[in-house]
Chain A
């Protein structure tokens, strides 16, 4: 009985852990973007947009749960 009740709690905690991790990665990527813009290396435009795509992907997958769309289709 207690095992059944504890399982969702563990999933929930790991979900929040992933959320915190995603937030940290988003923050680090934003700082990297800013540093690239300041240092102006060659190929700055491509670098910054690759990072932006990475950030958008993180939000779409972990915060917006885009994968739920095709997971539902599988059932």
Chain B
């Protein structure tokens, strides 16, 4: 038997329908955010062509990329665990994702510390580099806050296997942040 809820305007709504609407809304949000990052990517190529600064740290770039990719896997595992009702697994993988995300942010902060001397924001490459990594890091921080809220709910047993939308939404957002970095990494570190 399917539970039916009534919206304010009296329309009958099943949980499946609500979930579908939520998912569509999330994808539209992700699409609109993609425009922002695509614009930044175009600005980067418009201003710099195929040029990158030789002092950009290849080691840090590669390391933080691998860390972010791995965090996507742990986020995926957390979502899977929550869906099958394994709250301990969900908690463990969420914690791992939070840790990896924090390490990524620390890596970016360290890169900024080095970059401030090598190519300050007053230079063309510097302004592009700091804007792109800064906006991305802000999204990483937002994702961390969302994941931390979900972790708190899982820890307090406030998340059931039938209502995993908060988990799904925050994990989707986290994967999106990863997809953005998949394009930013070569644009800022590799192409020359």
> CA of A63 to CA of B69 in the docked complex: distance in angstroms?
11
Residues of B within 8 A of A19 (CB): 73, 76-77, 80
Interface size in chain A (residues, C-beta < 8 A) = 33
Report yes or no: A12 in contact with B179, Cβ–Cβ below 8 A: no
Query: Interface size on B (CB < 8 Å)?
Result: 31
Q: Which A residues are in CB contact (< 8 Å) with B84? A: 8, 12
Contact B191 A48 (CB under 8 A): yes
Q: Which residues of chain B in 113-131 are interfacial with respect to chain A, using CB atoms and an 8 Å cutoff?
A: none
Q: B99 contacts the other chain (Cβ, under 8 Å)?
A: no
A4 CB-CB contact with B under 8 Å: no
State the majority secondary structure of interface residues on A: helix
Q: Mark A56-67, 1 if CB is under 8 A from B, else 0.
A: 100110111010
When the two chains form their complex, are residues A56 and B175 in contact, meaning their CB atoms are under 8 A apart?
no
Query: A20 near B191 (CB under 8 angstroms)?
Result: no
Main secondary structure of the interface of B (DSSP, over half): helix
Given A30-B69, A52-B183, A60-B179, A40 and B192 contact (CB-CB distance below 8 Å)? yes
8 Å CB contact of A48 from B66, B77, B190: B190
List of A residues within 8 angstroms of B75 by Cβ: 63
Which residue on B lies nearest to A16, using beta carbons? B80
Are the CB atoms of A27 and B66 closer together than 8 Å?
Answer: yes
Q: Compute how far the CA of A45 lies from the CA of B48 in the bound complex, rounded to whole angstroms.
A: 14
One digit per residue, 1 when the CB lies within 8 angstroms of any chain B CB and 0 when it does not, for chain A 1-34 equals 0000000100010011001101100110010011
A36 to B58, CA, bound (A): 13
CB distance from B189 to the nearest CB of A (A): 8
Would B176 and A64 count as touching, CB distance under 8 A? yes
Top 10 closest A-B pairs, CB basis? A37-B190, A23-B73, A48-B186, A55-B182, A64-B175, A63-B175, A63-B76, A56-B179, A26-B69, A19-B76
Given contacts A12-B84, A30-B62, A52-B186, 12 further A-B contacts (CB under 8 A): A16-B77, A19-B73, A19-B80, A30-B185, A37-B189, A37-B190, A44-B191, A48-B191, A55-B182, A60-B179, A63-B178, A64-B172
